[in-house]
Amino acid sequence: MVLTGLRGVGKTVLLNSFRSMAMQRLWGTGKIEARPDQSIRRPIASALHMAVRELAPRHRAPDRIDQFLGVLKAFAIRDPAAPKGSYAAHLGIDVPASRGRADSGDLEIDLTELLADAASVASDLAVGIALFVDEMQDVPAADVSALCAACHELSQTGGPLIVVGAGLPHLPSVLSASKSYSERLFRYVPIDRLDRDAADLALLAPAWREGADFEQAALDALYAAADGYPYFVQAYGKVTWDVAAASPVTAADVGVAGPVAAGELAVGFFGSRYERATPAEREYMRAMAQLGDEPVPTAQVAEELGRKPSSVSPARDSLIKKGLIYSSERGLIAFTVPHFGRFLRAQPA
């Protein structure tokens, strides 16, 4: 399964709750957070190490575990970027690295073999392994391709190992650009804003647990402010809760809390991201913001800046790499952060 959505819609929260569900069923679990320019070889090795360690105490044949750990170690130390010697020790596997499996240096082959072996250890216990990959759009292109191939192989053999990814809305196109069959390989689940009932429940359920309630007008005002985005529901809800002196929470409480929450978001959620951009990238994002809140053609952004498309494409590419914007369809770009355009338009030039 692959979850996609804008910043702050709850993808990581969902991955974590899936992980808890898997653990409750006694599955082995591991999680990585992908980073641009970093091979997934070592993070995957650590995550699978964790997953198999969860299973090991229940396994009746310790030598099967050791055999797997030998393969895992061989896989991990095959990383060309690993400092010689030290990394294997760091991984904390005291079994010697084995030879001839998952250690070819070709990530596609190695990952396919490693995942198959991990799945087979889980099969012994009649459970599975769940591997979670957050920020999946940041997995380097060659590694995405290897990961898809390994998942494809697993789906053919029916090994009980699942990969659950999460990332920005362009993740499906990143995956299908790498392997065209990935469209059928994963179940894509777009995560979007909460509808009105869900947003209300997010506020009411914890309040009810404290014996408190919200006036209808307070809920109306909060929905108007948060627009159903979970992170904003949290931000506005928190300040409102702190401001309200008594139950029920009123629209007046929201009126006092709103500007405070907006100020906190301007610094923490929007500002921290804006700070990460260079002057040229900021200029690019301001031009995007001027064009409205829908995805815009890149050519139009260049036009807004009075520049040639080729001269602004480095700024666009680095913003994509920083995860601040994404390319929604061919030639169209949009902010990954909800309400970012609105935030930029409110900034003094």
Ligand X SMILES: Nc1ncnc2c1ncn2[C@@H]1O[C@H](COP(=O)(O)OP(=O)(O)OP(=O)(O)O)[C@@H](O)[C@H]1O
What residues line the site for ligand X (CB under 6 A)? Answer: 5, 7-13, 230-231, 234
Least Cβ distance, residue 295 to ligand X (angstroms): 17
126's enclosing H/E stretch is none
Q: How far is the CB of 319 from ligand X (least distance, A)?
A: 15
Q: Assess contact for 177 and 144: CB atoms under 8 A.
A: no
DSSP assignment string, 131-194: EEEETGGGS-HHHHHHHHHHHHHHHHHT-SEEEEEEE-TTHHHHHHHH-TTHHHHS-EEE----
* C-alpha to C-alpha distance for 253 and 255, rounded to whole angstroms: 5
Of ligand X, Mg ion, none, which one sits near residue 230, judging by CB under 5 to 8 A according to partner kind?
Answer: ligand X
When the beta carbons of 313 and 328 are compared against ligand X, the nearer one is 328
Nearer to Mg ion (CB atom), residue 128 or residue 323: 323
Residue number of the CB closest to ligand X reads 10
Dihedral over Cα of 139, 36, 231, 340: its sign = negative
Do 319 and 281 form a contact (C-beta atoms < 8 A)? yes
The residue number whose beta carbon is nearest to Mg ion equals: 12
Q: How far apart are CA 65 and CA 232, in angstroms?
A: 45
Report phi then psi at 15, rounded to 5.
-55, -45
* Beta carbon of residue 264, minimum distance to ligand X (angstroms, whole number): 13
Provide the minimum distance between the beta carbon of 125 and Mg ion in the complex, in angstroms, as a whole number.
30
Binders of Mg ion in range 1-20 (CB under 5 A): 11-12
> Which strand ranges, in their side-by-side order, compose the sheet holding 296-297?
296-297, 332-335, 325-329
Judged by CB under 5 A, does residue 234 bind Mg ion?
Answer: no
In angstroms, rounded to a whole number, what is the distance separating the alpha carbons of residues 36 and 31?
16
- 296-309: b (≥16 Cβ within 10 Å) or e: bebebbbebbebeb
Q: How far apart are CA 169 and CA 331, in angstroms?
A: 15
Compare residues 34 and 118 and give the one whose CB is closer to Mg ion. Answer: 34
Nearer Cβ to ligand X, position 96 or 268?
268
What is the smallest separation between the CB atom of 306 and Mg ion, expressed in angstroms?
36
Biggest distance spanned by C-alpha atoms of the chain: 69
- Cβ at position 100, least distance to Mg ion in Å: 38
Output the smallest distance, CB 294 to Mg ion, in A: 24
Beta carbon of residue 236, minimum distance to ligand X (angstroms, whole number): 11
Which of the choices Mg ion, ligand X, none does residue 234 contact, using the CB cut-off of 5 to 8 A by kind? ligand X
Partner interacting with residue 9 (select from Mg ion, ligand X, none; CB below 5-8 Å by kind):
ligand X
Contact flags string 178-217 toward Mg ion, x per CB under 5 A: ----------------------------------------
Question: Could you say which of Mg ion, ligand X, none residue 8 binds, taking C-beta under 5 to 8 angstroms by partner kind?
Answer: ligand X
171 binds, among Mg ion, ligand X, none (CB under 5 to 8 A by kind): none
Q: Exposed, middle or buried: residue 312 (CB in 10 Å: 0-12, 13-18, 19+)?
A: buried
- Which residues would be at the binding site for Mg ion (CB under 5 A)? 11-12
